Chains A and B, each alone.
Chain A
């Protein structure tokens, strides 16, 4: 009996005493099923830890009356019902939609123009391209502080230009009226987001085969015709994806409004992100603030679904 047992254990013992087999490990790792999981797991864990946890905690909080350092009381949809009666909440939704729509359209048009210009050959092209990326590179808080000075009523660049050029006798109150404050934050967001569009569309432009333009020219198309029937259709997938991403980024914008206006005057620039922040971190109403933040999810979720469908189709 014992001999039989000994014999059955022999291969296992042999394997255990064999030197570590790097080759076998490599073979194991290089299996497609294993390798893909190895690559997939770290980002998933990262996303779960830094995006998933806060997101689900936010969802959890939105169903509770929960104040800083206080106990949580389940209120179901109570926070959302409360928000439905809150005029600032509705105002912040309106502001966010206006802000996102205007800034995205301006960035898309400006970015397209920027890309078309950058696609031409001219001296110092590389340097100019690098310079155009600056708004994207500079930290938002830093550039927004600079914009505070640019919008200054007396010493600001814009008002100096307006007064010195004789266009107006006195400067414009850039941050002092609800309309101008909204226009000002749209200007800053557009300035900051333009390079993202410009560089992405430029990359798209450079993938369009020259032959298409040559064929169109032979067929008698002018500059506008080539742009309308060759360039624009070829760029549409890029423009669609960049625009979708930009809508998401703009919808979530927080820093520039927080630094420039704090959501004022009279809540005219309060976006959903700044309102959620002021409720949670300022007023300490974590549940209510989470409910505001969560209200953004359906819109963004819809965009994400659209984007996914489009990418799959493409």
Chain B
């Protein structure tokens, strides 16, 4: 947490003075005065999940942090949290204990928005100077008209596939529709190269294809208001039947229980020909398996019966905790990192693994360095939050963390009838949202 510099007047000293002054004048406004003369913090703690792109973290640690320290004298304590689902419990624990970090990558921020300060001034200024924000991200960061977090970027999720194996199976280009995707998968599985589409209790690689698939069947989980369950439709049944068939005829059996690291491992050990993932697989392949690195490619999610294709957003947003000793200092730092002078080189260092939600980056030259990364830029155009079109709130968080929709599909794949799995999911949704 932010610590005051001892050589300057301490907060305690000031509070004594302020309390005395307030008492003498009969004024109750001491806290405001306290803010104005508060001692500059020596340290700001910034918590972020580790990145799969080493350069991105290194740029932050070796270039940005020293620059900020030099300019302000404030030390940045960069706490890297392990990737893979453990960051949310850590953040929850921090919020509950009102300690740990001054600002953070606030994953699943709907859980603790009340503990975040208003950062509208920063978000609006950043949007204004960098081409404006993509609309969809506002559904996450803006709460009751106030920005509670500043979006940093999206970690794109796309189809990752072995181009060589697809070509060997006679598939010249990546399937355009889910039906074509199934057809191609049957051919590939027959050749010993099944798909590996995650359906277990992970937090990204399962949602990133099952939700878009559902949406492309014209189904959403809740309606726009978030007060009516919209899942109970014939189209949902068709989507469930499709996934069951895809699993049985085109996928490796294990994928129904996979967590987020499993598909990376299976792809890199040549057990599967296609999965849905961020482009971390290509990063690892290029680094450790150069031959495979040449034949990995990416494609957008196929289109569904409604003629649309969708993607699931995996947002990285930064928020400032209200309980910290000096939220303004943390806000100043957040404003500084989002300044184009810092922000653009930082994004560049990540090889576009982190795609900004700002339109100024639509024609960012770095998108053209590796053409195979280009689909991850397109994700922003068709990307939706998993809550879409309903608000991203606590109830939605419960649906995600209880894997209600994911388990609807995985239960069907492991033998349960379509009607039963939909009825169970609908029942859980009604209970979570408290609607009839």
Q: Which residues of A contact B (CB under 8 A)?
A: 67-70, 82, 85-88, 148, 152-155, 173-178, 181, 261-268, 277-286
Interface string of B393-436 (1 = CB under 8 A from A): 01001101111000100110110100000001001100100000
The answer to whether A181 touches B431, judged by C-beta atoms less than 8 angstroms apart, is no
Task: Judge whether A69 and B402 touch: CB under 8 Å.
Answer: no
Beta-carbon contact of A69 and B95 below 8 Å: yes
Contact A264:B401 (CB < 8 A) given known A68-B95, A175-B257: no
Question: What distance in Å separates the Cβ of A273 from its nearest Cβ neighbour in chain B?
Answer: 14
State the Cβ distance, B352 to closest chain A Cβ, in Å.
29
What are the residues of chain A within 8 A of B266 when measuring CB–CB? 153-154
| CB pair B407 A68 closer than 8 Å | no
Stretch at the interface among B110-118, B170-178, B209-217, B218-226: B110-118
| B-chain residues with CB within 8 Å of residue A265 when the two chains form the complex | 199-201, 256-257, 410, 413-414
Chain A residues closer than 8 Å to B111, beta-carbon distance: 67-69, 283-284
Chain B interface size, as a band, is: 35 or more
Which residues from A are CB-within-8-Å of B115?
A: 68-69
Question: A263 to B404, alpha carbons, bound, how many Å?
Answer: 13
Is B96 an interface position by the 8 A CB rule? yes
Contact A87 B424 (CB under 8 A): yes
| Stretch in B4-12, B86-94, B335-343 touching the partner | B86-94
Given A68-B95, A86-B431, A265-B257: A284 touches B411 (CB 8 Å cut-off): no
| Contact assessment for A178 and B414 in the assembled complex, using a CB-CB cutoff below 8 Å | yes
Q: Are B398 and A261 in contact (CB under 8 A)?
A: no
Residues in B with CB closer than 8 Å to A281 are 88-89, 92-93
Residues of B within 8 A of A153 (CB): 252-254, 266, 271
Please report which residues of chain B, range 70-107, place their CB below 8 angstroms from some CB of chain A when the two chains form the complex: 85, 88-89, 92-93, 95-96
Contact of B403 among A154, A173, A174, A264 (CB under 8 A): A264
Partner of A278, one of B401, B413, B416, B428: B401
Which one of A68, A85, A262 lies within 8 Å of B92 (CB-CB)? A68
Q: Name the residue in A69, A148, A280 with the highest tally of chain B Cβ atoms < 10 Å from its Cβ.
A: A69
A82 to B259, CA, bound (A): 28
A281–B107 alpha-carbon span in the complex (Å):
12
B95 surroundings in chain A (CB, below 8 A)? 68-69
Minimum CB distance partner of B199 in chain A: A265
Closest A residue by C-beta to B85: A262
Contact in complex: A285, B114 (CB < 8 Å)? no
What residues on A are CB-neighbors of B257 within 8 Å?
A: 175-177, 181, 261, 264-265
Q: Measured between C-beta atoms, what is the minimum distance from B21 to chain A in Å?
A: 33
Indicate if the CB atoms of A70 and B114 lie closer than 8 Å.
Answer: yes
Contacts of A88 in B (CB 8 A): 402, 428
A278 touches B414 (CB 8 A): no
Q: Indicate if the CB atoms of B112 and A278 lie closer than 8 Å.
A: no
Closest chain-B Cβ to A139's Cβ sits at a distance in Å of 14
Instruction: Answer yes or no: B255 CB below 8 A from chain A CBs.
Output: yes
- Please name all residues of chain B whose beta carbon is closer than 8 Å to the beta carbon of A69 when the two chains form the complex: 95-96, 111-115
Chain B nearest CB, measured from A272 CB (Å): 14
Residues of A within 8 A of B191 (CB): none
Indicate whether B344 reaches chain A with its CB closer than 8 angstroms: no
Q: Does B35 contact A (CB under 8 A)?
A: no
- Find out whether the CB atom of A266 lies under 8 angstroms from the CB atom of B92: no
Q: Which of B114, B401, B431 is A82 in contact with, Cβ under 8 Å?
A: B431
The 5 closest A-B pairs by CB, nearest first: A262-B201, A282-B401, A176-B254, A265-B257, A173-B253
Given A154-B271, A266-B411, A266-B414, verify A284-B402 contact (CB < 8 Å): no
Q: Is the CB of B394 within 8 A of A67?
A: yes
Contact status B200-A264, CB under 8 Å: yes
A267 to B416, CA, bound (A): 13
Q: Which residues of B105-130 are within 8 A (CB) of A?
A: 108, 111-115
On chain B, the residues within 8 Å of A155 by CB distance are 269, 271
- Residues in B with CB closer than 8 Å to A261 are 200-201, 257, 259
Question: Which residues of chain A come closer than 8 Å to B112, judged between CB atoms?
Answer: 68-69, 284
- The interface residues of chain A lying within 8 Å CB-to-CB of B414 are 177-178, 265-266, 268
Q: How far is the CB of A259 from chain B (nearest CB, A)?
A: 9
CB distance from A87 to the nearest CB of B (A): 6
B254 proximity list for chain A (CB < 8 A) = 153, 173-176
Q: A83: shortest Cβ distance to chain B, in Å?
A: 10
Q: Residue of A at shortest CB range from B411? A: A266
A-side contacts of B401, CB under 8 Å = 278-279, 282-284
Distance in Å: Cβ of B249 to nearest Cβ of chain A: 15
Pull 28 A–B residue pairs with CB atoms less than 8 Å apart, ordered by A: A68-B92, A68-B95, A69-B111, A69-B114, A82-B431, A85-B431, A87-B424, A87-B428, A153-B266, A153-B271, A154-B266, A175-B257, A176-B256, A177-B256, A177-B414, A264-B403, A265-B201, A267-B403, A277-B89, A278-B401, A278-B402, A280-B92, A281-B88, A281-B92, A282-B397, A282-B401, A282-B402, A284-B401
Q: Check A266/B407 contact, CB under 8 A, given A86-B431, A175-B257, A176-B256.
A: yes
Bound form: Cα–Cα A110–B411 in Å: 34
Most chain A beta-carbon contacts within 10 A, residue among B111, B257, B397, B411: B257
On chain A, the residues within 8 Å of B238 by CB distance are none
Cα distance A148–B269 when bound, in Å?
14
Q: Is the CB of A154 within 8 A of B269?
A: yes
Cα–Cα distance between A285 and B393 once the two chains are bound (Å): 13
A246 to chain B, nearest CB (A): 26
- The reply to whether B88 and A282 form a contact with Cβ atoms under 8 Å apart is yes
**B271 neighbours in A (Cβ, 8 Å):** 153-155
B202 within 8 A of A: yes
Which of chain B's residues have a CB closer than 8 A to the CB of A68? 92, 95-96, 111-112, 115
From the candidates A70, A176, A279, name the one contacting B253 in the complex (CB within 8 A): A176
Answer yes or no: B265 CB below 8 A from chain A CBs: yes
Within 8 Å CB of A70, what residues of B?
A: 114
Q: Compute how far the CA of A264 lies from the CA of B201 in the bound complex, rounded to whole angstroms.
A: 6
Task: Provide the bound-state CA to CA distance between A259 and B8, in Å.
Answer: 47
Q: Chain A contacts of B85 at CB under 8 A?
A: 262
Q: How far is the CA of A264 from the CA of B254 in the complex (A)?
A: 11
Check if A266 sits within 8 Å of B410, measured CB to CB: yes
List residues of chain A with CB within 8 A of the CB of B92: 68, 280-281, 284
What residues of A have a CB within 8 angstroms of the CB of B265 in the complex?
Answer: 152
Q: How far apart are the CA atoms of A176 and B271 in the complex, in Å? A: 15
Chain A residues with CB under 8 A of B93: 281
Q: What's the minimum C-beta distance from B178 to chain A, rounded to whole angstroms?
A: 22
- List the B side residues contacting A86 at CB < 8 Å: 428, 431
Could you say which residues of chain A place their CB within 8 Å of the CB of B201?
Answer: 261-265
User: Shortest distance in angstroms between A22's beta carbon and chain B's nearest beta carbon?
Assistant: 41
